[in-house]
Structure 1
């Protein structure tokens, strides 16, 4: 069966997400959903608005809001006033959220190392290079 590159990229993303979730659970971290993992990965250190999180995640504002509020309820994020705008609020990591973020970064590095052991360091470097290349806007193929 021929799988599209899109499917393969999705499977690769799930491999990292599943490995990250298992390692975080083993370390006693608060369980989070895949959407919450994604939100955490696109959050700026100083905080980000829910609208900007939704744009970065490619989801609706409501979906980003639900993911953020689940993480707020878990004590990993908090909402604070935006110093640049009296009307906006920023979502940012709490101290516990910072600890979880550092642990996740360490786990992801170990997962990349494991992937390099399995498929080779050159293959991982080539994959990284291809994914970091500027792809531009999606073409209109209509």
Structure 2
């Protein structure tokens, strides 16, 4: 009989989807500018001082084209802007606009509420243990088995 036990990456994916869906629903209910899950992920990996599209793509684990499309959509609705990179005349940095900063803080508050709701469902102790395990450095992935 095949195992029904799901692996950790599947469980992480489900957990992320739970937070993403809760965040997007709360933002929509608050009348915020509609964003996609990819755009939410982009906001999560964006540095406060600005980040290149290539670096955003690397952090998100997507192609540069996908990251560029997400950036373009968020620039179009006024949540992000492109500025020259002071370290390189050829590169541009992506950063939040004032409206983008407000949206980012709103999303952070929603995520805190979602975490509290999760603690009510599975216990504060379980959430704290999960957080501690995920905050512990894991080190680099192990080399392939020979």
Q: TM-score, normalised by structure 2?
A: 0.93
How far residue 10 of structure 1 moved from its aligned partner, in angstroms, is 0.5
**Which structure 2 segments of 5+ residues have no match?**
none
Q: Which residue is equivalent to 2:134?
A: 131
2:54 to 51, 54, 66: 51
How far residue 5 of structure 1 moved from its aligned partner, in angstroms, is 1.1
CA distance in 2, matches of 1:110, 1:137: 32
Q: Which residue is equivalent to 2:17?
A: 14
Q: Which residue is equivalent to 1:92?
A: 95
The answer to whether structure 1 residue 63 and structure 2 residue 87 are counterparts is no
| 4+ residue runs over 4 A deviation | none
The answer to whether structure 1 residue 30 and structure 2 residue 29 are counterparts is no
Q: Which residue is equivalent to 1:106?
A: 109
Pair member with larger Rg: 2
How far residue 50 of structure 1 moved from its aligned partner, in angstroms, is 0.5
Number of residue pairs the alignment of both structures matches: 142
Q: Say what the alpha-carbon RMSD is for the aligned residues.
A: 1.0
Q: Which residue is equivalent to 1:78?
A: 81
Q: Which residue is equivalent to 1:117?
A: 120
How far residue 40 of structure 1 moved from its aligned partner, in angstroms, is 0.4
**Which structure 1 segments of 5+ residues have no match?**
none
